[in-house]
Each structure stands twice: as structure tokens, then as C-alpha cells.
A and B are shown apart, each in its own frame.
Chain A
């Protein structure tokens, strides 16, 4: 999807606010936004569908509202979408209490949940990888309409495969309920290929990309 989230290479955002940093959840928005998203997984919610909801944040909000305020809205919509909560409950602020409330988590529960969240996203498939390390490949030159992890700034650009990672769940399909995997590769691009209009610099850019995003160069 050619949306506001696809920021790589866009210009005009000014300097990086290098001092805007903290290590902890000092702000109540951060504390709730993080907790809500770690604990209230809507049934059947995939990370890909969650990311797609996030990408659909209205563009002005995406660029201006606090980060975890946006995560709260994303997760709220995921919950509404799967029926964990109804729109009426939200709009009237009259929630129907659960017969059995979700129990509180202790710090030990949180640490166990963190360990369990170290998930893998690779899965074996029958097809052999089409390319090998060193292959030159050319990115497709059209952005996908739905969720995709092929950023605009590499569309139509040529790169070289530097690593194979086996087959990983394919986000473009999984976001829309079609759970299938494709071979995943790391592709190296030169700065001169990606930004030929800029002064040439000795920079290399690496992206992890699925097989159907590219063809032989």
C-alpha cells in the first residue's frame, strides 16, 4: 500500500530529534499503549493485519499524534474488527463486563510473556529458493494495493542477494487471511542505484524481501 507509513527516502522532515529519548515507559500513554498491545491480542490477529491497520492511520494523525496513542487506536480497531469489543460499547462508553475478567499479570508473568514472544516466522515449504547468494535481482515496479513490505524507494531498483533465510510467512498474503510462506532473502542495494540524483556516497542499504517482490535483473 502506497501510504504515509512508507517513509524511506521521503524528504522534508528536517533534523532528527536526537535528544528525544527515554528508556522506559515514563508516560501513561506509553505505559498503556505498550501494555494493551502486548496483552490484548484479538483472536486470530496476525502481526501483518495489525501492521496494515496501523498503516491506515489517517495520514495527519500518523505524522502528528504520539506514537503509542496511535498503537492504542490500532489495537482498538483490531479488537472491534474481531468482536472482542463492539463499536457501541466504545461510542456509548458503556462496556458490558466480562463474566470472567482477565486476571492481573505480575512482573513474573510479564517476563514469561516476553520470553514467549520470541517467535519465529519461518516455516518449511516444498518449493526450492529461486535465487542464490550473489544473484542479481530487479524489484517489481508497482506498489501492492494491500499490506506489503516492499518499500516504494526500492521499486524498479536492482540489487544483489546477500543472504537466504528459508521460507517466512508472507505478510502481503497473511495480512488478508491467506496464510502462506515464501522464500525470504536479504538484498543489498547501492546508494548510487537507489538515489542516482544524490551525491554518490559509499553507502549500502540492505532489505529483507520476499521472492515475489523481484525478478531476474
Chain B
């Protein structure tokens, strides 16, 4: 196809002209775009700061804590997660079609994107390296229990694993089970327990030690 030919030729032309070492290559392109006036260095700093301090898994953790505390909110989240997070002021990158899936005693959910690395950025921030790499993307759909074991999760045979492959614009957020012994916890204390991996589904049991 012409589209493919055009793109693969560009890759090869660029490959033979740009520095091979990744940091140097990226720096070269960055300076080119800065000199052209397409992007300002200050803009990069702003994105780093926003994703360091504001947009990240804490947002997802607060959604989970609220779902544990408020049954009505949990129902709303399960019915239409995109709308529920929008109402909390948390709408953002890649959560316009958010779906929440709930872990139970009988079901464990986990999320992957085998074709690229789709991820609910606005609620979980930048994806961890392993989520973007071939080992997780290839194996999560074929041998999820072995993958979970590598994360330290041992599942009884009778627990069903539901793997969500993010092939369209829907994004999935796992609602982990609320740990025992947290009946008196505040929303902020509960949110402290919720890890990013638990919301992707590569952790099942949450520790109450963190709070």
C-alpha cells in the first residue's frame, strides 16, 4: 500500500541520517523543533510537572476509595465510568470511554493492550515500562496466571481471570477488593492503599501496612 511504502521509506531515511543512540537522537529532534519554534523548553517542564504532581495513579486511587465508601458511586462507576469520573472533575486523556471492572472472590480482572499500549493516562499517569513491553503484551492474553505469578499473585484455580485487551477506545480500570480491617479508614487513607498495579490488575491483595 502507498501509505505504508511512504512511511517505511521515511523510517529508513531518518534511520540512516539521525544519530542512533536514543538520548542523542531525541535531543537532536527536540532542538530542531525548539529552534523552529514548534515547542518551547518551558512546555516540556510544564508537562513533567503536571504528570509528577497532578496527573497520576493517585487520581485513580481516589476514584477507587470513593467507590468503596459510597455504594451509589460504585454503581455509577460500574454503569458509566467515564461519566462518573467526569463528575469528579477527573475527565482527561484516554478516559472518554472508561469502563470499570470489579474484582470479586470469584473473579480477577487484568488489563493489557496487545496492539500498542493503550492506557487510561488521565487516571493512572504514564504507563509503567513493563506494560509497554513485548513480554507483558504477548503473554497477558495467553498465560495471565503465569504473568500474575511473576508479579507475586497466586490465584486459586477456581478464580476466573478476565483479561481485557484494549483494542478500541474503551479503557479499563480494575476496582480491587477493599482489604479487611479498613472499616474505619477515611477516603484519603483508603486511597493510600490503592496501587497503580492493582488498578491494572497485576496486583490482587492490597496491603493495609501502607497507611
Bound: A109/B7 CA distance, A: 32
Nearest to B118 among chain A residues (CB) is A51
Bound: A207/B111 CA distance, A: 11
A-side interface residues toward B, CB under 8 Å? 1, 5-11, 13-18, 20-25, 28-36, 38-40, 51-58, 61, 63, 65-69, 72-73, 76-77, 80-81, 84-85, 87, 89-91, 93, 95-98, 100-107, 109-111, 114-115, 117-122, 145-146, 149-151, 153, 165, 168, 171, 176, 184, 186, 194-195, 198, 201-210
14 new A-B contacts at CB < 8 Å, known A9-B142, A203-B145: A17-B133, A20-B128, A29-B23, A35-B44, A57-B11, A58-B8, A66-B22, A77-B14, A117-B93, A118-B94, A195-B142, A204-B162, A204-B163, A208-B167
Nearest to B157 among chain A residues (CB) is A202
Bound: A35/B44 CA distance, A: 6
- Do B10 and A77 touch (CB < 8 A)? yes
Q: Kindly provide the distance from the CB of B203 to the nearest chain A CB, expressed in whole angstroms.
A: 10
Q: Kindly provide the distance from the CB of A117 to the nearest chain B CB, expressed in whole angstroms.
A: 4
- Do A118 and B86 touch (CB < 8 A)? yes
- Do B145 and A35 touch (CB < 8 A)? no
Q: Is B160 an interface residue when CB atoms closer than 8 A count as contact?
A: yes
Point out the residues of chain B lying under 8 angstroms from A202, CB to CB: 157-161
Point out the residues of chain B lying under 8 angstroms from A118, CB to CB: 82, 86, 91-96, 122
Bound: A11/B139 CA distance, A: 7
Interface string of B4-32 (1 = CB under 8 A from A): 10111011111101100011011111101
Give me 18 A-to-B residue pairs in the complex whose CB atoms sit less than 8 angstroms apart, sorted by A's number: A6-B114, A7-B115, A8-B142, A28-B26, A31-B44, A51-B116, A63-B134, A67-B129, A69-B25, A76-B29, A89-B36, A98-B37, A107-B46, A119-B96, A146-B3, A168-B169, A201-B161, A204-B162
Q: Kindly provide the distance from the CB of A210 to the nearest chain B CB, expressed in whole angstroms.
A: 8
- Do A149 and B115 touch (CB < 8 A)? yes
Bound: A200/B8 CA distance, A: 40
Nearest to B21 among chain A residues (CB) is A69
Count contacts between A and B, CB distance < 8 Å. Answer: 313
Bound: A91/B18 CA distance, A: 8
- Do A117 and B115 touch (CB < 8 A)? no
Point out the residues of chain A lying under 8 angstroms from B36, CB to CB: 85, 89, 95-98
Point out the residues of chain B lying under 8 angstroms from A90, CB to CB: 14, 17-18, 29, 32
- Do B10 and A80 touch (CB < 8 A)? yes
Point out the residues of chain A lying under 8 angstroms from B38, CB to CB: 40, 84-85, 98, 101-102
Q: Is B150 an interface residue when CB atoms closer than 8 A count as contact?
A: yes
Nearest to A120 among chain B residues (CB) is B96
Q: Is B208 an interface residue when CB atoms closer than 8 A count as contact?
A: no
Which of B48-56, B69-77, B176-184, B186-194 faces chain A?
A: B48-56
CB contact under 8 A between A32 and B44, given known A81-B7, A202-B158, A205-B163: yes
CB contact under 8 A between A8 and B115, given known A104-B43, A209-B167: yes
Q: Is B87 an interface residue when CB atoms closer than 8 A count as contact?
A: no
Determine which of A55, A146, A198 lies in contact with B143 in the assembled complex, contact meaning CB atoms within 8 Å: A198
Choose among A5, A28, A105 the residue with the greatest number of B CB atoms under 10 Å from its CB. Answer: A105
Bound: A11/B141 CA distance, A: 11
Q: Kindly provide the distance from the CB of A184 to the nearest chain B CB, expressed in whole angstroms.
A: 6
Bound: A5/B133 CA distance, A: 10
Bound: A51/B133 CA distance, A: 16
Bound: A1/B29 CA distance, A: 28
Q: Kindly provide the distance from the CB of A1 to the nearest chain B CB, expressed in whole angstroms.
A: 8
| 7 tightest A-B CB contacts, nearest first | A101-B37, A8-B114, A208-B168, A95-B36, A21-B128, A104-B40, A118-B91
Point out the residues of chain B lying under 8 angstroms from A201, CB to CB: 143, 145, 161
